Structures are given as C-alpha cells and as structure tokens.
Amino acid sequence: MREYYGTSAKKYGQTRGKQLLLLPALSRHLPKARNKKIRALDVACGNGDVFPLIKEKGYKYFGIDISADLLARAIADYPAGEYRKGDARSFARHYKARFDAIIISMLFPSLKKAGDIIKVLKECKTVIEKDGVILMAITHPSFDHYMQSFLFRRDDVHANFKGYFHSGSRFEMDQTINGEAFRFEDYHWTLADYMRAIQKSGLQLVAVDECQGVSSKIDKEDRAWARKRDSFPTYLVLVLKR
C-alpha cells in the first residue's frame, strides 16, 4: 500500500476501467437517498473519487482513509464531505450514528491477509442501518491482474504466478493515470475467499454485478477499449445486507 502515500499519492487517480465500468455499476446499486439526512460512508475513500456518485444520489458524504496524503486530496477536491483518518479494520468506534449506505471500493485487493477482509466487513456491519446496503467493489478474482499475467502474458504485470487457488499471492502492475506512470501493489484472492469473509462477518450477499460496460453511455473514443473489455469481466460489485 506504499503507493497511497507521499509522491505516489499525488499521482493516484481513476483508471479507465474504474471510470467506465466500476463506477456505473456502483451507481446502479446505490439507492437514491430518501431525504437530506441520509448518510453514506466511503470506506478507504482515498482521494474521494466516489464522492460525486454519492452526492448525486443525495447522501450526506463521510469518508475515512488511513492515508493522510490521499485524504488531503479528497478534502481539497471535495470539501463538502466529512473526512476522518482511520484504519478500515477498526473504524466503527469513530462513528456514533449509523449509515444508510457503505461503499468499499477496491480496498480488499490491497489487503495481504484474508482476516483483514473479515475485520473490515464486521466493522461495516456494526455501523450500517438495519435496512442499509453495503457495496463491495473488487477486481474479478478470475481476471484480476495476477490472473491476466498468466492468461494474457501481460508484461506490465509483475507476478510469480502459482495458480488461481494460491490465495494471497502478491503482484504489481504498471498503469498510466492522467498521463503519469503508476505502479499498484495488490494481492490475489479467490471468489471463495470473499464468500467466506462475507459469511464470517455475518452479512448476507443479495446481488452480484459483473460490471459490464454500457456502450451507449461511453464516448466514441472509448468504445474500442470497452469492446475489448467485454471479452472478460474485470470487476465485481457484491451487494450486501445485514
């Protein structure tokens, strides 16, 4: 997670896939707020790139992240939100009121222990309203960059590939974000790993979205890229309830 601190944090931003595939899927499953008091929590909010989506749906936005550098960017870009520095594995004690919606976007692939995924989900269960929704966004376990290093022989992914079922395998991938070179460090978790974490946290899985792009809503210059991404799914949004 070193890429989320210091100089690297200044470069961090939305990847093309997140912008065109993941955020629209999150929008599909985030209900509109019933009134102006409805609250949403962005766990591991980073630079706040989910803020516009949450505000568009009418929620009062709260964000928490362990990186002061990314929080500084979120506060500068989206000052209307309420932010707190904290660890996603132990954040519930910071909040007295509950939330009507929680988004955990792309945190879990960055965690190197399966037990930490369970810890985060248990914290979310503690602060979610009884009828609230938790949106868990992850890379698709069958087609994350670790798997793509083997399936597609990608030279921009650095992994010691041992097979799909080697949970917790570390890998790095090079990407260009806003014209800047950026290297992510992540860990490969299987679908079964995520299902076990949900079960052990006491939450219920109620829906799955494989984040297919909607070509009619994608600019012409992005359509060729989107058609390639239609060949295989790269993200999952898991919809959870208490």
Helices vs. strands in the chain: H and E counts, helices first? 9, 10
Answer whether residue 12 shows pLDDT above 60: no
Residues pairing with 63 in the sheet: 42, 83
Q: What is the mean pLDDT of the chain?
A: 90
pLDDT in tens, 94-125: 999 999 999 999 999 999 999 999 999 999 99
The residue whose two tokens read 């890229």 is: 225
pLDDT score of 4? 41
pLDDT in tens, 121-155: 999 999 999 999 999 999 999 999 999 999 999 99
Burial of 108 (0-12, 13-18, 19+ CB in 10 A): buried
Mean of the pLDDT values across residues 199-225? Answer: 82
pLDDT score of 161? 98
d(CA 31, CA 26): 10
pLDDT in tens, 155-189: 999 999 999 999 999 999 997 766 777 788 999 99
Mean of the pLDDT values across residues 203-211? Answer: 98
pLDDT score of 181? 76
- 86 confidence band (pLDDT: 50, 70, 90): very high
- Residue 187 tokens read as 């860990």
Which segments of the chain are extended strands (E)? 39-43, 60-65, 82-85, 99-105, 128-139, 157-159, 169-177, 180-188, 204-209, 235-241
* Full-model pTM: 0.90
Which domains occur in the chain, in start order? Answer: 2-140+189-241 (3.40.50.150)
pLDDT in tens, 22-62: 999 999 999 999 998 999 999 999 999 999 999 999 999 99
Mean of the pLDDT values across residues 75-97? Answer: 97
Answer whether residue 14 shows pLDDT above 90: no
